[in-house]
Structures are given as C-alpha cells and as structure tokens.
C-alpha cells in the first residue's frame, strides 16, 4: 500500500509540473553609483533596466529639480526610453565636473519611472580637494511640548549630526540629554527641520534651552533659546479679578467721609 501511494504521488507531481514563477516587474541593476575625481573630470557611466514582461516597457528618466537648476553637471542620453519585452537595456549618463567646482560631496539621483512604479539610482559624486565640515542650528522655538529647530550644512561634505539638549532654569538644570546621532544625512547646503519632545517643562520659570550639534570633521554649532514659562491658565482668573478689586477700593474710598481738623487760633493777650 505504501509503495502504491508513493507511485500515485509521483504521477500527480509529474502531471502538475513545476508552477510558473510570478513576474516581479522591471528592475535596475544598480541602486548606487559612486564617482570621485578632480574638478574638470568627465565621467561616463551607465546602469541597466531589465524588463521580464511580455510587453515593451516605456520608462521616463528624470533628475531632481534641484540638480537641473543648481548643479546641471549630469546629463542623460534621453528623457524617455523603451525597453523591449524580456530584454535588458543600458541607460548611459555623463557627469561633467566644472573646473571651478568646490570640493566635497555632491549627491544626486536619477529616477526611472514606468508601469506604475519608480526606482532611484543614487549617484554620489565626490570632488577631491580640501574638505570643510560646518553646520549651524537655526530657527529654534518651543511650543506645545516641542522644541523645533533646523540644521543647515554650511560645508562641502555630507554630515551625520549628533545633537545634545540642555535646559537650565533659575533653580537649576531642568533637562539634560546627552549627544546622540540623529537619523539624518545632510548633503552640502542641505537643510532639515526637526522636532524634539519636551512634554514636562516647568510651570513657572525662566529657562535657557541650549542645543549643541557636532559632526565628523570637527563641525560644531550651538544655539540658545531663552523662554519664560508662566501658568497663564491659573493666573487668568486672578487677572480678571484685578479690575473688580480696583473698582471696589476706589468706590469704598470715595464713600468714606473726609476728616477735617480745625485749629483754633491762640487768643491775643490783653495789653
């Protein structure tokens, strides 16, 4: 019986055959391209797109608006291309570095878009030369339990900043968070707005909120925000009573009769 069952199972498997593999859609062979050279260098590179479908694939190739407007160093052979069915096609591109380009990192991405999806190919261009790491902390504010601020990369190299926060009041330290690495990567001239939670500030105090940031390459910046915390919700009823108290005191004083003191003039002595 066991032998017969094995034979039947083998016959069924042969009849069913191997199931067809589901198509995963088109794909790019490179998600990251790294280039490095001196000013004046011309790079020629390419990436491939594979179309496993039974129909041709039309792709739209685009660059970020910032790359076209401020750093038009990268050029594509065409803005659109068609990849035949079950074919792999190469997409060439050229990066021309101006002779006066500043040293540092210049990241950009080429995005291939088609068939309802898109895939970025990140191009990281590093121009050789002196590297400058510099950043600033700007637009620091506090409201509704949140410290809001902006980090700006003022150098020519990509930075991963570390942030520390300290808040000192009249009677001592209220908040002391040691430096930690932020989940951001700032390219040159990059700017990012971030938020830190501080849900339990003092009810009544004058506080200096100090934000310090550091990054590789001896980058360091600091910003201090002075904030005054007043429990307006508790003081509002008292403030509303002040005019009524002032009016009551004024009325009471007006109704109180004035006391006049009469002084007799001394009599003259007879002659």
Range ranked top by mean pLDDT from 15-24, 41-50, 234-243: 41-50
Question: Does residue 221 have a pLDDT over 70?
Answer: yes
pLDDT band at 257 (very low <50, low <70, confident <90, very high): low
- Model confidence over 258-270: pLDDT tens digits? 555 555 555 555 5
Q: What is the mean pLDDT of the chain?
A: 82
Q: What angle do CA 250, 233, 202 make, to 5 degrees?
A: 125
Q: What pLDDT does 70 receive?
A: 46
pLDDT band at 7 (very low <50, low <70, confident <90, very high): very low
> Which CATH architecture describes the domain 135-229?
Sandwich (2.60)
Mean pLDDT, residues 134-148: 95
Question: What are the tokens at 102?
Answer: 């500043």
Nearest to 85 by CA among 38, 13, 26, 2: 26
Question: Does residue 88 have a pLDDT over 70?
Answer: yes
Question: Does residue 50 have a pLDDT over 90?
Answer: yes
Q: What pLDDT does 265 receive?
A: 56
* Helix, strand or coil, per DSSP, at residue 122: strand
Q: What pLDDT does 245 receive?
A: 62
- Span(s) in the chain for CATH 2.60.40.10: 24-127, 135-229
Beta carbons within 10 angstroms of residue 191's beta carbon:
14
Mean pLDDT, residues 222-240: 76
Q: What pLDDT does 102 receive?
A: 82
Question: Does residue 24 have a pLDDT over 80?
Answer: no
Q: How far apart are alpha carbons 163 and 90 in whole angstroms?
A: 43
Distances (CA, A) of 262 to 43, 243, 269: 109, 37, 21
Q: How far apart are alpha carbons 59 and 25 in whole angstroms?
A: 13
- Model confidence over 190-214: pLDDT tens digits? 999 999 999 999 989 999 999 999 9
Q: What pLDDT does 156 receive?
A: 86
Domain 24-127 has CATH 3.40.50.970: no
Phi and psi, residue 56, nearest 5°:
-60, 150
Q: What pLDDT does 106 receive?
A: 83
The pLDDT > 90 percentage for the chain reads 54
Residue whose token pair is 């990281």: 124
Question: Does residue 15 have a pLDDT over 60?
Answer: no
Query: Which is higher by pLDDT, 16 or 59?
Result: 59
Q: What pLDDT does 246 receive?
A: 66
Nearest to 144 by CA among 74, 205, 86, 195: 195
Mean pLDDT, residues 138-166: 95
Query: Which is higher by pLDDT, 197 or 105?
Result: 197
CB proximity list for 136: less than 8 A, separation 6 or greater: 151, 152, 154, 221, 223
């Amino acid at each position: 019986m066991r032998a017969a069952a094995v034979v039947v199972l083998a016959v069924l498997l042969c009849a069913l055959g191997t199931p067809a593999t589901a198509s995963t859609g088109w794909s790019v062979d490179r998600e990251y391209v790294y280039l490095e050279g001196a000013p004046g260098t011309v790079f020629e590179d390419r990436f491939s797109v594979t179309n496993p479908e039974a129909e041709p694939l039309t792709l739209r190739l685009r660059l970020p608006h910032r790359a076209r407007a401020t750093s038009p160093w990268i050029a594509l052979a065409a803005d659109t291309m068609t990849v035949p069915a079950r074919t792999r096609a190469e997409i060439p591109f050229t990066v021309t570095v101006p002779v006066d380009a500043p040293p540092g990192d210049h990241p950009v991405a080429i995005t291939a878009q088609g068939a309802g999806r898109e895939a970025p190919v990140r191009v990281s261009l590093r121009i050789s030369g002196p590297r400058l790491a510099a950043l600033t902390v700007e637009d620091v504010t506090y409201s509704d339990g949140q410290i809001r601020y902006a980090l700006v990369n003022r150098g020519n190299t990509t930075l991963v900043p570390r942030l520390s926060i300290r808040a000192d009041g009249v009677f001592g330290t209220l908040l002391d968070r040691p430096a930690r690495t932020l989940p951001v990567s700032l390219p040159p001239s990059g700017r990012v707005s971030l938020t830190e939670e501080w849900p339990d500030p003092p009810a009544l105090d004058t506080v200096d909120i100090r934000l310090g940031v550091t990054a590789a390459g001896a980058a360091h910046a600091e910003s201090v925000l002075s904030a005054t915390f007043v429990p307006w919700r508790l003081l509002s009823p008292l403030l509303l009573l002040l005019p009524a108290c002032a009016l009551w005191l004024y009325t009471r004083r007006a109704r109180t009769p004035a006391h006049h003191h009469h002084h007799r003039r001394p009599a003259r002595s007879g002659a």
